[in-house]
Structure 1
Amino acid sequence: MTVQREIPLDFSGVLAEDRGAVVCRSVLPGGVRVLTESMPDQRSVTVGYWVAVGSRDESPEGYGSTHFLEHLLFKGTPTRTAMDIASAFDRVGGESNAGTAKESTVYHAHVLDEDLPMAVEVLTDMVTSSLIDADELETERGVILEELAMDADDPVDVAHERLAAVLMDGHPLGRPIGGTPEAIRAVTREHVVAHYRHWYRPQELVITAAGNLDHDDVCRLVLDALERSGWDLAEGAAPAPRRTADAAGAGAVLAGTHTVAKQVEQANVIVGGQSLSTTDPDRFALGVMMSVLGGGMSSRLFQEIRERRGLAYSTYSFSAGYSDGGYFGLYAGCQPERVDEVAALMEAELERMAAAEVTAEELDRAHGQICGGTVLGMESTGARMSRLGRAELVTGEFVDLSASLARVRAVDAGRVRAVAARLAAGERARVVVGPA
């Protein structure tokens, strides 16, 4: 079965059904959206609470608030201590966690199907009723600073953060997701609370779940928990509109070489430029292009830079997409004296893809790599839960596995060359992190 359909904001009903698995969506009072995928052969459920707010949405004085909330929502509510929240999942062998991105935040849990009511109750309490306690905030301030220090010790992380900054200069998407040490030290509880109250509202909340579940049961559990929270759940309230692209674009590219001195043995070099948004029609061709260029041991970068020349141990390509645009990068770790040579080789491979079509063998290999990885990834309840979240918040379209694979296989050599030429024509920047 192949399903690809838009998701109107007011839609409630079945989105897809195939071999016992059913994907459903409901809009609850207050504008809360619930999407589920039943997986009858599983014994577990993964549930996620999504809010379409990320690091790009913070005010200048509240920079770092989104990351702070990711930590603080686990630190207590009027009815649960931080220990209560942690032990609720530990005692049933479950897992809970959260993640902050540039355009969304998610709080999620993976539990046995029989423990789903507990997971819904606890996650709802966390999201709707966090105390944001002043003492806990100061404790987490130290934890977050240690987290940032850990990231700053990793030269590859530093290179990736610097690349985003120089490729999206002047745009909030160019800022680090976790904030900077200076911002984390400066942000106040008042800023964090204001950010929480502005974004954590019924119309902004999306709940997705996948596993051995019944959609109506999930909706009932969620609604009961929300009613106990005291949130204003007005009948007929509309969900918040999905994010649209900013007409101003995704900032400017600071072309040239940007060096970060760091006392490490190896130089980490990335060459990159601006790329495609998450809804660009060429995004599937971009995926195939990235697979051929630097997606594995048979890729062009790996074969040319590592296998033929022995200039790097690790080399790959990547891309990141957002509502306003995106960026791509070609990475290699090499000896400092080889930076110029390696960077030139990476750029040459990009130019070669823009100048001539990939071979039939390369295209077939990329199709197989992406499709195989997609199918294997979708065997977990967590991946299915995340797919529903992206469909609701990012694309506004549900595409089942068969349709996703068909879109990848439809990419031909001409489309790969066209998207490569599109990227190669843009301005580029080089980031080098390594010995001065």
Structure 2
Amino acid sequence: AAKTKSSYINYSIEAPRYTDSAYFAMALLQDYLSDEENSPLIRALTSGGEMLATSVSAYIDTKEEFSRFVIEIITEKPEKADSMMVLTDAVLESLGDNPPSEELLNGYKVSRRCEEIYMSEKLHYYGFTVAPLMAITGWDFFRQFQNRIDSVTAAEIAAACQKYFTPINYVATVVTPASSDTEAVYQAAGPTDEELLAHFRANPPQIHDLNLGKKFKMPEVRALSEEEKRYARYARQIFDNGLTVIVKSNPDSRVFALNVIGKNRSATEPEGKEGITDFVNRLIEKGTTSRNAEQLSQELATIGAKVTLYDNPWIPYDDRYTTRQFSFMKFETIDEFTVKGIELFSDMIAHPAFDSAEVEKVRAEIMGLLGRNSGSTYKIARDKFYATLFSGTAYGRNIEGSPMSIGSITIDDLKAHHRRIYSPENMIITVGTNDDPQKVMSLLKISFERIPKSGFTPIEATRPANPSGIKTAHHKMEKEQIYIYLGNLLPSAKSPDAAALDVTASVLSERLQKVLREEQGLAYSVGAGVTLDRNFGWFICSIGTGAANFARARDGIIAEIEKLKTEMPSKEEVEEAINSIWGSNLTANLSRINQ
């Protein structure tokens, strides 16, 4: 038992070492078992009269001396843990006789090759993603990895499953919420956060200068020619149905990327149905009126498509696109699959099936996420802040919904909201490609101009009243950590002060990190930022710290804000802030999907 909202079942099973040819078969098996629409394990744990698991995933944990095949299951039904393990054992032991089809395997192989292309656009991310495996296996293994994956057959996967899963032997752990306040719970061994901070304040880590003893030379920098400055070509068009489409073309990548924005997310959601946009987005990938979920998944895999419809709940603070301002859908494939990609994604956007069984699966998934979020000090503080600053307006509502609002949403509600939020009048589509922009625009027009006008008039969020005095909100949690949000309203993005506000927030964020985290050791997370909307804006300062540090952390933020009013940033601070903003924007735009 532990202090947790959900229950976790983890399997660790013997797997072939990376030098064994069966390793590559197991690598593809992890794709099969993690495939939401085709995995027999996910089907066993989420289908039927009772949805047992809310998340199922598999991966190979590769070490130099050995490997382990890991399966992770999350459930909201701890009393069913034994039943889930019996089902899991049965599925794994049956894989030797029931391996994935060659058609599915080909899809996984194409997806892996395309994912390599997507990842290679993000050099800052690609390096530390592949480095652990490369460090263990060496360059020769890594260089041949995809070719070895491509050669795997269904028969080889069956043989590997027979060897490692029949009979199955494993180490498993089950972690469940404490059933009462008196039940003994697991406590991690080791120093507390405060003890760690105290240790490193007293024993600062040694700084190593990697340039010492090396002849390191920065690359030469030259100015761009006028021709190079016009490197990208653009096309913009408003289709007859009201849909706005922008195409950017440049030859720096093989990726075809398509973004869909649904404007005014929170303002468009009906009162009492908060979280319905996220509900709709999660159903976009669950089949269309002409393709069931399994067929859609297989067709997307054949072109290596990557579809992102919601932020990853397992990555802390990964909510860049979960905003009150807009909803998003992101689609990636490579240029050679452009025509098929447009045909598939337009079908997903325009004709989601909203199958009743899939609706209930997604509802259970969202309920599980809401349960886990209720234990997050960061998310609770964020939602309390918005509810207080934007009280009585659309932005004050919980963007992820509540158990009550999610439980009340019907299929008719989902269909009606889909017609509004993704109506042509309320959508913007942007495309990145290396193909001719007018050619791509013509392809988009064939598929997307078919979506009929809805007559829907986009709803803009209204500016809330300026707070009078200091407003506070507090939510008590059984946590050693606390999170503080502090902020206020600002002018809109149209304000002549917009750029200055952005730079000022960057300066403030740097000062907060230096003083509260580095010098005073108060924070494990601290920062400041501004968001400027069409009609208004707001700034936020936030800090995560220990409960005993609440007053010092709050007062420290306020002190730095007051100090900024009287002590103008130095020239160096301003330059550093501007460079930081440029660096963040340029890094984000390395990938075509973000351009």
TM-score bucket of the superposed structures, by smaller chain: 0.7 to 0.9
SS at match of 1:176: coil
- For 2:552 and 2:577, the matched residues in 1 are separated by 27
Residue of 334, 349, 355 corresponding to 2:545: 334
1 or 2 for the larger relative contact order (CA 8 Å, sep ≥6)?
A: 1
- By how many angstroms is 1:32 displaced? 2.1
- By how many angstroms is 1:54 displaced? 0.8
State the match for 1:44 in structure 2.
Answer: 255
- Say whether the 8 Å CA contact 2:267–2:394 is kept in structure 1: yes
Query: Where do residues 148-297 of structure 1 align in structure 2 (5 Å cutoff)?
Result: 148-226=370-448, 231-232=451-452, 246=462, 249-251=463-465, 253=467, 255-294=470-509
- By how many angstroms is 1:366 displaced? 0.9
Instruction: Report how many residues are paired.
Output: 357
Cα gap change, 1:333/1:27 in structure 2, threshold over 3 Å: closer, same or farther? Answer: closer
State the match for 1:77 in structure 2.
Answer: 288
Cα gap change, 1:218/1:327 in structure 2, threshold over 3 Å: closer, same or farther? Answer: same
Code of the aligned partner of 1:269: I
2:534 is equivalent to residue 323 of structure 1: yes
After superposition, the C-alpha distances for 1:40-99 in whole angstroms (9 at most, x for unaligned) are 121112111222241221222433322211112222222111122223332333310114
- For 1:33 and 1:43, the matched residues in 2 are separated by 24
- For 2:542 and 2:420, the matched residues in 1 are separated by 38
- By how many angstroms is 1:241 displaced? 7.5
Instruction: Between 144-153 and 111-120, report the one with greater CA deviation.
Output: 144-153
* Large movers: runs of 4+ above 6 Å: 239-243
Query: Where do residues 363-378 of structure 1 align in structure 2 (5 Å cutoff)?
Result: 363-378=574-589
Query: Where do residues 115-126 of structure 1 align in structure 2 (5 Å cutoff)?
Result: 115-126=337-348
- For 2:543 and 2:349, the matched residues in 1 are separated by 40
- For 2:513 and 2:478, the matched residues in 1 are separated by 26
- By how many angstroms is 1:240 displaced? 8.0
- By how many angstroms is 1:124 displaced? 0.8
State the match for 2:239 in structure 1.
Answer: 28
2:572 is equivalent to residue 352 of structure 1: no
SS at match of 2:586: helix
- For 1:269 and 1:110, the matched residues in 2 are separated by 37
- For 1:225 and 1:312, the matched residues in 2 are separated by 50
Q: TM-score, normalised by structure 1?
A: 0.75
Instruction: Between 209-218 and 357-366, report the one with greater CA deviation.
Output: 209-218
- By how many angstroms is 1:220 displaced? 2.1
State the match for 1:433 in structure 2.
Answer: none
- Say whether the 8 Å CA contact 2:305–2:341 is kept in structure 1: no
- For 1:350 and 1:150, the matched residues in 2 are separated by 33
- By how many angstroms is 1:340 displaced? 0.9
Instruction: Between 137-146 and 210-219, report the one with greater CA deviation.
Output: 210-219
Cα gap change, 1:204/1:268 in structure 2, threshold over 3 Å: closer, same or farther? Answer: closer
Cα gap change, 1:244/1:196 in structure 2, threshold over 3 Å: closer, same or farther? Answer: closer
Code of the aligned partner of 2:353: L
- For 2:228 and 2:513, the matched residues in 1 are separated by 41
Code of the aligned partner of 1:278: A
State the match for 1:91 in structure 2.
Answer: 302
- By how many angstroms is 1:158 displaced? 1.4
- Say whether the 8 Å CA contact 1:57–1:103 is kept in structure 2: no
- Say whether the 8 Å CA contact 1:50–1:106 is kept in structure 2: yes
Cα gap change, 1:140/1:42 in structure 2, threshold over 3 Å: closer, same or farther? Answer: same
SS at match of 2:333: strand
- By how many angstroms is 1:318 displaced? 2.2
- By how many angstroms is 1:271 displaced? 2.0
Code of the aligned partner of 2:500: A
After superposition, the C-alpha distances for 1:145-173 in whole angstroms (9 at most, x for unaligned) are 11222322221121111111111111110
Q: CA RMSD in A?
A: 2.5
State the match for 1:379 in structure 2.
Answer: 590
State the match for 2:267 in structure 1.
Answer: 56
SS at match of 1:258: coil
- By how many angstroms is 1:17 displaced? 9.2
Instruction: Between 362-371 and 47-56, report the one with greater CA deviation.
Output: 47-56
Code of the aligned partner of 2:525: S
Unaligned runs of 5+ in 1: 1-15, 385-436
State the match for 1:401 in structure 2.
Answer: none
State the match for 1:109 in structure 2.
Answer: 331
- Say whether the 8 Å CA contact 1:170–1:251 is kept in structure 2: no
- Say whether the 8 Å CA contact 1:169–1:253 is kept in structure 2: no
Cα gap change, 1:376/1:169 in structure 2, threshold over 3 Å: closer, same or farther? Answer: same
SS at match of 2:565: helix
- Say whether the 8 Å CA contact 1:271–1:329 is kept in structure 2: yes
- By how many angstroms is 1:252 displaced? 5.5
SS at match of 2:473: strand
SS at match of 2:413: helix
Cα gap change, 1:159/1:383 in structure 2, threshold over 3 Å: closer, same or farther? Answer: same
- For 2:347 and 2:501, the matched residues in 1 are separated by 40
- For 1:127 and 1:17, the matched residues in 2 are separated by 36
- Say whether the 8 Å CA contact 1:250–1:324 is kept in structure 2: no
SS at match of 2:474: strand
Identity of aligned residues (%): 26
